[in-house]
Chain A
Amino acid sequence: MNVTDRYVADFKAFVGNGAAGAPPWLKQIREGAIARFAELGFPTTKQEEWRFTSVAPIVDTRFSHPASRIPHPGLTEIGSLLIGPGPRVVLVDGRYAPELSSAADQRSGVRVGSLASAVADGPSSELAREHLARHARWHDSAFAALNTAFLADGAFVHVPAGVTLEQPLELLFLSSGRPGADGPTVSHPRSLVVIERGAEAAVLETYAGLGDGVYWSNAVTEIVVGEGARVELYRVQREGPRGLQVATTHSRQERDSLLGVHVLTLGAALARHDITAVLGGAGAELILNGLYLLRAGQHADHHTVIDHAQPHCASHEYFNGVLAERAHGVFNGRIIVRPGAQRTDSKQTNNNLLLSTEARADSQPQLEIYADDVKCTHGSTVGPIDQNQLYYLRSRGLSAQAARSILTYGFGAEILDRMRRPAVRERLDRLVRERLA
């Protein structure tokens, strides 16, 4: 049996037990998604979008679904992965962990909880039906299709119109890294975040490995930002050293909304993150701000697509990478300006710092502009520490080592400085400092 057939067979077993309780609309989506996956198959490096990233470690490993009763960590064990005592959803190996989660205040109308239960009951179910799998482009991605086919649980966030939230909402996706009876396991965590018109909120997604075993996490997040809403989505990836992660983040913004997507990639042996951001209403603004800090033999590939579908939108994209030892960073930034998306203002930069001669970075901008009255700029750099900067700092009394460490931190700090929530920024700053120490 080839690998695609194996997942199709797994799907049959999945719908036959446990997943049978889903509403008919979701069952239909899953069936469509597995069919699409079977057509697409896993990508190979012969495909342009996967030129620099081989998914052989995923294809060549027989992953099974985790046992239903895995022991959960205690709250104290995961304390360091959380920012604060605010509302949160915690999942372990793709399953909701109610004892680790904490609901939002009912009076605000904000809902932060399990996706499975949101799909199952009343008003949330309608919202889920309206948005779930409607934004993620699973028709084009084998991984998003597979996640959608195996969609069982995840996080659901709903912030109603006009609500302003002080505290960030936390979504924590833990992977135990514990092998099942049949070897390494895969989970397909799914998030749906709906922020309605005029609301203001910050959501922090953390993906973390608890052990050093081999596992695969295949995540999909869809975020919908209503008219005039102001949202920050933070995403921290701290998977285990042998963890494999493929993730897709899809955002859709309505008129005059502001979305900041902040990415910090630290973990996993192999990581691929696709971000597709659709500016779907006039006057929307997007800040796509990411940092990858890799070492040893880590490989991380960030593919972003910013889709300017409407006029008068702005996108500012900044990705920095710091690559040590034998690490390999890939950045591909595609910007599409659709016909009629006049007065688009788009800026993209990707700067990579190589800390060793064996480290490698590949950076590719792709601009597709179909409108004439637009401003699009892009730039990328790959190189070791700048000798002029190093000399400048040394000429002020700093040792070569201190100067190098300041310049390296500066690469990260430039990205951290754009994060607007102090509590989150400080935590991420600490993670960056720990990594570079």
Chain B
Amino acid sequence: MTGKGKRETGKVLLEVRDLHASVEGREILKGVDLTVRTGEVHAIMGPNGSGKSTLAQVLAGHPAYSVTAGQVLYEGKDLLAMAPEERAREGVFLAFQYPVAIRGITNAYFLRAAVNAIRKHKGVEELGPVEFMDALEAKLTAIGWDSSYLTRPVNDGFSGGEKKRNEILQLAVLDPKLAILDETDSGLDIDALKTVAQTVDKLRRPDNATVLVTHYYRILTHIQPDLVHVLAAGRIVKSGGKDLALELEEKGYDWLRTEPAVA
């Protein structure tokens, strides 16, 4: 029951101020403001092409996007000054909308390398293969997979749904402070969606936060957001409680275009 109705108690984890970002010379984000506190789940919704994925990728550090103005503070530090790997080690995790396949590298090898890169950064002893497997087993079961997953190459030959599950497994294993899920719900059947949502919901704690980037209301019936934001044409045009998501489900996005953007 963490998070719900206790919004103002958490510490500010992420603060996005007037963020402008471009890709290939085209401005996508045109002044995004967003504050995420620990213990909160935020949903960022919006029509296709509104900049949702760009926001997610800019926060994770995708090299193709350039920030032209604004600031992002993560735990009070300048997030935009950090390399992607530094962000990950400091506890930022992006579940990719289109996870990348890597032939020749097994999931077990990849996951352990990631876990150990983060442990090393924290000054915690790195895990050997056996200890790692022990720690992984319960998480693997929770996502509905057996150990055959471990010897398969990373996302190679995975179905769309399997790739999304793999992102959530990584989320569970890496246990970040700030999880950003970029349309993880797209392309999942109802059972897969439930499994994914349950895994994400179980990870909610007073000391972490989740940002769900989604096009659909469906996932929000499984994971209750504290705040819902509407991103349109590169700006957050409306914010509200979980009722806003329901309103969007009923009315779509078009009605927002006629309302003035929030300051």
Contacts and interface: CB of A to CB of B under 8 A. Distances in A.
Interface of A: 386-389, 391-400, 402-403, 406-407, 409-415, 417
B96 A392 contact: yes
B117 A399 contact: yes
Contact of B118 (A392, A397, A410): A397
A392 B63 CA distance: 11
Interface centre among A387, A400, A406 (most CB of B within 10 A): A406
A395 B94 CA distance: 7
Given A396-B88, A406-B105, A417-B104, A391 B114 contact: no
A411 B104 contact: yes
For the side of the interface on B, what is the size category?
A: 20 to 34
A402 B102 contact: no
Given A389-B100, A400-B83, A414 B153 contact: yes
B85 A394 contact: yes
A290 B132 CA distance: 32
Interface in B76-111: 83-85, 87-89, 93-94, 96, 99-100, 102-105, 109-110
A406 B99 CA distance: 17
Nearest to B170: A396
Interface of A is mostly: helix
Contact of A397 (B64, B121, B153): B121
Contact of A412 (B94, B104, B110, B117): B104
14 contacts: A392-B102, A393-B110, A395-B60, A396-B88, A396-B110, A396-B117, A397-B117, A399-B85, A409-B105, A410-B103, A411-B103, A413-B105, A414-B103, A414-B153
A410 B104 contact: yes
Contacts of A403: 85
B3 interface: no
A396 B174 contact: yes
Given A391-B84, A394-B83, 9 more contacts: A387-B64, A392-B96, A393-B114, A394-B84, A394-B88, A397-B85, A398-B85, A403-B85, A413-B105
Nearest to B113: A398
B4 interface: no
B39 interface: no
Interface string B56-68: 0000111110000
Contacts of A399: 85, 117
A409 B106 CA distance: 11
Nearest to A386: B100
